[in-house]
Chain A
Amino acid sequence: MAAVAISAEGLVKSFGDVRALDGVDLDVPEGTVLGLLGPNGAGKTTTVRVLTTLLKPDAGRAVVAGVDVLKNPNQVRSLIGLSGQYAAVDEYLTGRENLQMVGELYQMSARDAKARALELLEWFNLSEAANRTAKTYSGGMRRRLDLAAALVVRPPVMFLDEPTTGLDPRNRMALWEVIETLVEQGTTLLLTTQYLEEADRLAHDIAVVDHGRVIARGTADQLKAQIGGERIEVVVQLPTDLEPALAALTPYAKGEPTVEPHTRRITVPISGGARVLADVIRELDGRGIVLHDIGLRRPTLDDVFLSLTGHATLGDDDENADQSADAARAGRKDS
């Protein structure tokens, strides 16, 4: 059995009245990727902040790369790379200067730091922008530079806090490829994300977090099995078309269809994806049913949460909880 690269036991952290972490337990075997999945305010970022020595927990224990996070934080810092939610680069420094500075602060010699900076810029396709200030970079370029900064010392353990939030699909894919290369090279990774798709693609294991606790743990397939498969959603133009449409859809259904007369919507569990969708469209069209909308729906994070906790995730309540957690954090005095 592989060694454990990241482990946490019973992490608790409160900000005022808000219990951001309520007993988080984690373990990430060496060379694997754990996806920490959850809505805003669930405790993902707080967990990362504790494991990367930025925040002292009220209770609990954490070991990263064999080093106790609370007892030897500075030793941990030299073994980890962190890339945050917002790109933490100095926008008035050039790409090269940013990476070189980080290298020197990892205690590399100026010459080594410079060589490593150039190497990383090339790998991240930033060579041409190397001598431009980061202010001129696009969002995707900044995110790549931030990730490069986390890789300066080739750390054995990396923490990526929502690495692709706010990126367009092309940049997201490019970043995923980089992350996959890192993992192939043996890096252990803890990744937080709001996107099921991202966790699905990158993580060996997924831990679903809500209200400061890990509420489910498993592979992407295991979690998907819990929350059901794909569905087709059809909205017809005329209320009178609801019944003929349901009749046309029933042969494709892999479960009980649901009909909402109020919104003229029919939802049918299917399997077969886009191919079935095409068949369904032809079938409905052939019967002269006018569609207002039709789409293939895959399980989303909302579905995961709905099925695991019985409450929706990204609604107003959680936004508010997140804000109050932020406010409590901002108002906190010395610990």
Chain B
Amino acid sequence: MSATTGAIGSAIPQQRGGVLQTLRDSRVVAKRNLRRMTRIPEIVVFGMLQPVMFVLLFTYVMGGAIAVPGTSNDPNAYKQYLMAGIFAQTVTFATAGASAGIAEDMTKGLVDRFRSLPMARSAVLVGRTMADLVQTALTLVVLALVAFLIGWRVHKGLLDALGGFLLLLLLGYAFSWIGALIGLSVRSPEAATSAGLVWLFPLTFLSNAFVPVSTMPGWLQAIAYWNPFSATVQGVRQLFGNLPPGQHETHWTMEHAVGVSVGWSLLIIVLFSWLSVRKYRSAVG
């Protein structure tokens, strides 16, 4: 229907469609979100400060009082034990960034702008979660340096250590999809920040992150062992060589921690990206 294009020369490019367009559009959105991070460095800096604070508080305030079974009161043992938990907790906090960012885009009308463009429907969310992944990786690097300075060490090879960080990033990426769904579901960025954080505390504490599961009541142990978060922490301890020498976790999820962690993360990504993209399509800003 050429008549409807009117007198002006049309500069409308053809649509590619498919996976390639999704990747390209996602990259454009990710670039936008990364640029925002450089313009609001406070967010990145405070995002780094929080886990650093946790490391120092847990190590120096509580560390002395928490005995890791099987380490015969080695003062250095809790540091080694703790770090995987802090790393994992840090990557899950990416959830709050994604939920606040997307909620802000919704309230500022940017999501309307994006939804009126001939772009891939998933790109706004994929681009957001990819940018968050970059931020999470940066935070992990800084956190690992701080941990190194206070005496934490990797006791395995480079490949294992790399594997540990990949496991953490995969969990962080999965959790940012949960954040995306929260951001699309709440009504304000402020609500999104709280909603993105509040459930993370029980989730991360009902696990092996800060204390051994064997010290919990039996019914809580079952929850802690099946917590996706625990599998990642255990997997990372294995890959970093940070397992307490005298401790033998015999629960199935702990014996296959790396596999269970990857499985959980992939499951979360598939489920929450599907839910989020569905929600985004019908979003009412």
Within 8 A of B (CB), among A303-333: 329-330, 332
Residues in chain A near residue B187, CB distance under 8 A: 330
Shortest CB–CB separation between residue B60 and chain A, in angstroms? 37
Shortest CB–CB separation between residue B231 and chain A, in angstroms? 31
CB nearest to A79 among chain B residues: B12
Q: Are B4 and A106 in contact (CB under 8 A)?
A: no
Residues in chain B near residue A54, CB distance under 8 A: 112, 115-116, 285
Q: Are B36 and A90 in contact (CB under 8 A)?
A: yes
CB nearest to A116 among chain B residues: B11
Convert B92-116 into 0s and 1s, putting 1 for each residue whose CB lies closer than 8 angstroms to a CB of A. 0000000000000000111011111
B159 at the interface (CB under 8 A from A): no
Please give the residue numbers on chain B whose beta carbons come within 8 Å of chain A beta carbons, in ascending order: 1, 3-16, 21, 24-25, 28-29, 31-32, 35-36, 39-40, 108-110, 112-119, 123, 187, 278-279, 282, 284-285
CB nearest to B16 among chain A residues: A107
Chain A binding surface, main DSSP class: loop
Q: Are A186 and B8 in contact (CB under 8 A)?
A: yes
Given contacts A88-B108, A133-B39, contact A107 B3 (CB under 8 A): no
Please give the residue numbers on chain A whose beta carbons come within 8 Å of chain B beta carbons, in ascending order: 3, 5, 30-31, 49, 52-56, 65-67, 74-75, 77-80, 82, 84-93, 97, 101-102, 104-109, 112, 116, 133, 149, 153-157, 185-188, 329-330, 332, 334-335
Q: Are B284 and A332 in contact (CB under 8 A)?
A: yes
Residues in chain B near residue A66, CB distance under 8 A: 1, 3-4
Q: Are B40 and A53 in contact (CB under 8 A)?
A: no
Residues in chain B near residue A186, CB distance under 8 A: 6-8
Known: A53-B116, A93-B39. 7 other contacts (CB 8 A): A5-B4, A54-B116, A82-B116, A107-B118, A154-B8, A154-B9, A157-B4
Q: Are A334 and B12 in contact (CB under 8 A)?
A: no
Residues in chain B near residue A335, CB distance under 8 A: 282
Question: CA separation between A107 and B25, bound complex, in Å?
Answer: 8
User: Could you list some 7 contacts between A and B, CB below 8 A?
Assistant: A56-B282, A78-B118, A86-B109, A93-B36, A104-B25, A109-B13, A334-B278
Question: CA separation between A89 and B40, bound complex, in Å?
Answer: 16
